[in-house]
C-alpha cells in the first residue's frame, strides 16, 4: 500500500481500478479480461486494414495528380504497416499483457522509435516521422468512426478511476463520469478549469501529484479521497471497506425508469423548473441498450450513413433499409427518432454506388449530393416513409446550404409520400451546420419543421479550421464570438417560426457550455448516450434565468478566451452557491 498527498479540488471518496491516461488524449491504457483478447486483436487487424486502404488511396490520388513525385513517400508508411516488428509487436503486447489495442500500438511505436534512435544511417533515423504517422492513423482507426474524446473510455469495465499526467477541461467535459468515478492527476490546481468542472459535476478529484501516472499500472486498485487530498495505491481490504463507507451513493444515471423501451423518461428540469429534453446520437442498432440505460428521451440524431460502413452496397437495398429503420423505431418506441439522411461526400458515394471516382467533385456533400443523385435519396426516403407508421419518426437533411435545396428536398419527400399513399407522413427538418444556413435561418425556418444545429461542422466552416488537421486544430474554438452569435441567430429564428431547435455535436455534451446554450434559448440537446447522465446532473443545478444573464454577458465579450473564462467563473460561483453579478 502507498498513500500520496496532493491538492484536494473536489470532495468525495471513491474506489476503483485505475485507467491510465498519458500524453495525448488518444493514448489511454487499461486492462482487458482474458475473454476479450481475441476481440481486441480483431479490432487491431481491422484498423490495420482500414489504414492500409487509406494509405493506398492517398498514394494513388497523388500518383495521378500534380503531386505525383510525393506518392513514393507513402511507400515507406505502407512498409511499416506490413512490418511484423511493428504490428506483430503490438499483437504480442495485447495478447501477453492484456491491454487495449490502442495502448499496444503506442508501446510498439515507442519501442521502434528507440531502435531508430540508435541507427547511424540518417535516412533510417528520419523514418520515425513515418512511424509516428502510421501509429497515429491506426489509433485513429481503432476508435469508433466519428468518436472523439467522449468515446475514449467506452470499453472500460467500471467502477474505474482515472489517473492522468494532465487532464484538460475539454477532455474532462466529454468523459463518461458514469463509468469513471473520480480522477487524480500529476498536474493541476484548485483554480484550474478542470478542477472547477470536477466540483460542478461532483466528481471527487485530487491534483498536483507530480509523477503519479508513472507509478500506477492499469488495473491497480486506487482510493481517491477528494476531501483529504490523498490517493491510496493498492489499498488493504480494510482501507477499501472504509472508503466505501465514506463514499456517498452516486445518483442514478437514469431518471428511475430503468432500461425499458416502454417508459419514456420525463424531461430534465433546471433548478428553476425549465424542461430540457435530452436525446442520444446513435449510429448503430447495437447502441440502443446504451440509450435506454442512459435514460434518453429519444434519438436526436441517427447517422444513417454508418449503415454503409457496416454493410456491403448490394445488401443495403430499400428493403434492407426498411428492416433496419423498422427495428430502430420499434426498439425505442414510443420515443422520437430523428434519422439524418446519408451524410456522404462524392468520394464516399462513388465507392458505395460503384460510380467512377474520376467523376467526383469537391464540395458535394450531404443534401447537395443527395439531390445530385436522386436515385440514392429516393431509395432511402421510401424505406424511411414505409417504416414511419411504426414509431415517431422525423427525417432530417444534412449539410443544408440554402432555401432552394430545402424546397427541392421536401418536394422529393412529398413525391415519395404520394407514391406510397402517405402524404404528410413525417416532419422534415434541416441540419444547420454551415454559416449560410445559420445566417439565413429565418428564411430556412419557413421550409422546415425543425432545426438541428450540428456544432462540429458549424464551428469548422465558420472559422475555416479542420479540427483533424494538427497544423490548425488549435484554432478550432467552439466559444469564438462568431460561433456564439450564429447560435443565437438560429435559436431566435426557430422561436419566431415556432419550430423546435436542438443542438448536437460536442458542445451539447460539454458541461462548460451547456449552461450557455440554455441561456441562448436552446431546450433540446442530443449527445452520445454516455454523456447524458453527466448532462442531466449539471442541468439540474442550472438556473435558466441565471444562464440567460450569463449568455447576455458572453455576447458582449470579444474573444474566445474571455468567454471561456467568464463561463468558468460562473461555474465556480455556482459551485459555491452563488452567481456572479
pLDDT for residue 396 is more than 50: yes
Dump the DSSP string for 47-59: HHHHHHHHHHHHH
pLDDT for residue 530 is more than 90: no
Q: So what's the pLDDT on residue 142?
A: 80
What's the CA gap between 276 and 226, in Å, rounded? 31
Q: What percentage of the chain's residues is helix, strand, coil (to nearest 5)?
A: 50, 15, 30
Strands 28-29 and 13-21: antiparallel
What's the CA gap between 539 and 440, in Å, rounded? 30
How far CA 19 is from CA of 142, 334, 567, in Å, comes to: 18, 37, 29
Mean pLDDT of the 282-288 span: 89
What's the CA gap between 474 and 537, in Å, rounded? 30
Distance separating the N- and C-terminal Cα atoms of the chain: 47
Q: So what's the pLDDT on residue 335?
A: 96
Query: Residue 337's Cα: distance from chain center in Å?
Result: 19
pTM: 0.72
What's the CA gap between 165 and 312, in Å, rounded? 42
Catalytic-role residue among 106, 193, 373, 480: 193
What's the CA gap between 36 and 98, in Å, rounded? 9
What's the CA gap between 208 and 230, in Å, rounded? 11
Which CATH class for the 268-432+500-575 domain? alpha beta
Residues 6+ apart with CB under 8 A from 249: none
What's the CA gap between 190 and 66, in Å, rounded? 54
Give tens-digit pLDDT for 484-528.
999 999 999 999 999 999 999 788 888 779 999 999 999 999 998
Q: So what's the pLDDT on residue 256?
A: 40
Give tens-digit pLDDT for 408-427.
999 999 999 999 998 777 99
User: ∠343-349-351 over CA atoms, to 5°?
Assistant: 140
Mean pLDDT of the 113-131 span: 67
Question: What is the location of CATH 3.50.30.10 in the chain?
Answer: 2-26+150-246
424 φψ region: left (φ > 0), alpha (ψ -120 to 50), beta (else): left
Sign of the CA dihedral 363, 364, 366, 368?
positive
For the ranges 241-245, 396-400, 405-409, the lowest mean pLDDT is seen at 241-245
What's the CA gap between 58 and 42, in Å, rounded? 24
pLDDT for residue 257 is more than 50: no
Dump the DSSP string for 557-577: --SHHHHHHHHHHHHHHHHTT
Give tens-digit pLDDT for 425-479.
799 999 999 999 999 999 999 999 999 999 989 999 999 987 666 677 678 899 9
Does the active-site annotation cover 193? yes
Give tens-digit pLDDT for 161-177.
999 988 877 677 667 77
pLDDT for residue 533 is more than 70: yes
Return mean pLDDT, the chain: 84
Which helix (DSSP H) or strand (DSSP E) does residue 187 occupy? none
Q: What is the share, in percent, of the chain residues with pLDDT greater than 90?
A: 49
Confidence category of residue 27, pLDDT binned at 50, 70, 90 = low
Question: What is the location of CATH 1.10.274.10 in the chain?
Answer: 33-142
Fold of 33-142: Enzyme I; Chain A, domain 2 (1.10.274)
Q: Dihedral through CA 374, CA 375, CA 376, CA 377, nearest 10?
A: 40
Q: So what's the pLDDT on residue 512?
A: 79
Residue that wins the pLDDT comparison between 381 and 36 = 381
Mean pLDDT of the 133-159 span: 64
Confidence category of residue 250, pLDDT binned at 50, 70, 90 = very low
pLDDT for residue 92 is more than 70: yes
What's the CA gap between 385 and 424, in Å, rounded? 10
For the ranges 315-319, 342-346, 375-379, the lowest mean pLDDT is seen at 342-346
Q: So what's the pLDDT on residue 330?
A: 96
Neighbour tally for 211: CB within 10 Å:
10
Q: So what's the pLDDT on residue 304?
A: 94
pLDDT for residue 350 is more than 70: no
Question: What is the location of CATH 3.20.20.60 in the chain?
Answer: 268-432+500-575
Residue 264 phi, psi dihedral angles, 5° rounding: -90, 125
For residue 481, give the 3-state DSSP assignment. helix
What's the CA gap between 334 and 331, in Å, rounded? 9
Fold of 2-26+150-246: Glucose Oxidase; domain 1 (3.50.30)
Strands 180-185 and 205-207: parallel
Output the nine-digit C-alpha cell for 229: 487530498
What's the CA gap between 262 and 330, in Å, rounded? 10
Amino acid at each position: 500500500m502507498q498513500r500520496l498527498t496532493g491538492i484536494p479540488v473536489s470532495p468525495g471518496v471513491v474506489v476503483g481500478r485505475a485507467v491510465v491516461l498519458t500524453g495525448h488524449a488518444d493514448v489511454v491504457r487499461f486492462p482487458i479480461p482474458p475473454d476479450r483478447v481475441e476481440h481486441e486483436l480483431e479490432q487491431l487487424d481491422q484498423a490495420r486494414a482500414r489504414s492500409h486502404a487509406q494509405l493506398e488511396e492517398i498514394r494513388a490520388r497523388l500518383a495521378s495528380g500534380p503531386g505525383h513525385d510525393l506518392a513514393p513517400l507513402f511507400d515507406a508508411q505502407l512498409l511499416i504497416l506490413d512490418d511484423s516488428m511493428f504490428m506483430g509487436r503490438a499483437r504480442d503486447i495485447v495478447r501477453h499483457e492484456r491491454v487495449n489495442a490502442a495502448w499496444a500500438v503506442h508501446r510498439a511505436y515507442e519501442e521502434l522509435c528507440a531502435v531508430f534512435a540508435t541507427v547511424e544511417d540518417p535516412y533510417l533515423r528520419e523514418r520515425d516521422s513515418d512511424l509516428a504517422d502510421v501509429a497515429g492513423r491506426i489509433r485513429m482507426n481503432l476508435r469508433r468512426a466519428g468518436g472523439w474524446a467522449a468515446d475514449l473510455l467506452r470499453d472500460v469495465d467500471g467502477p474505474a478511476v482515472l489517473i492522468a499526467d494532465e487532464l484538460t477541461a475539454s477532455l474532462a467535459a466529454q468523459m463518461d463520469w458514469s463509468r469513471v468515478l473520480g480522477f487524480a492527476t500529476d498536474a493541476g490546481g484548485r483554480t484550474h478549469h478542470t478542477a472547477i468542472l470536477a466540483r460542478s459535476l461532483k466528481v471527487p478529484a485530487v491534483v498536483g501529484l507530480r509523477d503519479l501516472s508513472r507509478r500506477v499500472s492499469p488495473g491497480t486498485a486506487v482510493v481517491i479521497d477528494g476531501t483529504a487530498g490523498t490517493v491510496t495505491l493498492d489499498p488493504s481490504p480494510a482501507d477499501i471497506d472504509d472508503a466505501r463507507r465514506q463514499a456517498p451513493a452516486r445518483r442514478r444515471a437514469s431518471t428511475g425508469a430503468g432500461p425499458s423501451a416502454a417508459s419514456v423518461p420525463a424531461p430534465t428540469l433546471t433548478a428553476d423548473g425549465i424542461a430540457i429534453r435530452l436525446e442520444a446520437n446513435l449510429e448503430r442498432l447495437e447502441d440502443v441498450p446504451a440509450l435506454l440505460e442512459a435514460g434518453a428521451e429519444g434519438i436526436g440524431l441517427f447517422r444513417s450513413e454508418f449503415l454503409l460502413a457496416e454493410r456491403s452496397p448490394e445488401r443495403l437495398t430499400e428493403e434492407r433499409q426498411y428492416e433496419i429503420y423498422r427495428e430502430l423505431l420499434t426498439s425505442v418506441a414510443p420515443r422520437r427518432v430523428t434519422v439524418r439522411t446519408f451524410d456522404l461526400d462524392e468520394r464516399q458515394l462513388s465507392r458505395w454506388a460503384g460510380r467512377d471516382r474520376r467523376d467526383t467533385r469537391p464540395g458535394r456533400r450531404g443534401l447537395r449530393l443527395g439531390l445530385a443523385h436522386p436515385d440514392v435519396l429516393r431509395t432511402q426516403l421510401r424505406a424511411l416513409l414505409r417504416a414511419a407508421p411504426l414509431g415517431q419518426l422525423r427525417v432530417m437533411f444534412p449539410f443544408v446550404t440554402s432555401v432552394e435545396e430545402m424546397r427541392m428536398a421536401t418536394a422529393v419527400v412529398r413525391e415519395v409520400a404520394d407514391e406510397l399513399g402517405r402524404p404528410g407522413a413525417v416532419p422534415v427538418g434541416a441540419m444547420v451546420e454551415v454559416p449560410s444556413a445559420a445566417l439565413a435561418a429565418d428564411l430556412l425556418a419557413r421550409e422546415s419543421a425543425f432545426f438541428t444545429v450540428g456544432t462540429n461542422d458549424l464551428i469548422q466552416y465558420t472559422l475555416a479550421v479542420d479540427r483533424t488537421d494538427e497544423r490548425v486544430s488549435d484554432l478550432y474554438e467552439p466559444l469564438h464570438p462568431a460561433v456564439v452569435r450564429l447560435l443565437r441567430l438560429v435559436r431566435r429564428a426557430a422561436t419566431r417560426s415556432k419550430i423546435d431547435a436542438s443542438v448536437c455535436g460536442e458542445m451539447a455534451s460539454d458541461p462548460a457550455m451547456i449552461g450557455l446554450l440554455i441561456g441562448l434559448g436552446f431546450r433540446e440537446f442530443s449527445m452520445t448516450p454516455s454523456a447524458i447522465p453527466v448532462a442531466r446532473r449539471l442541468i439540474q443545478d442550472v438556473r435558466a434565468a441565471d444562464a440567460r444573464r450569463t449568455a447576455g454577458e458572453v455576447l458582449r465579450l470579444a474573444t474566445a478566451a474571455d468567454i471561456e473564462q467568464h463561463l468558468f467563473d460562473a461555474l465556480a460561483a455556482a459551485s459555491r452557491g452563488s452567481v456572479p453579478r
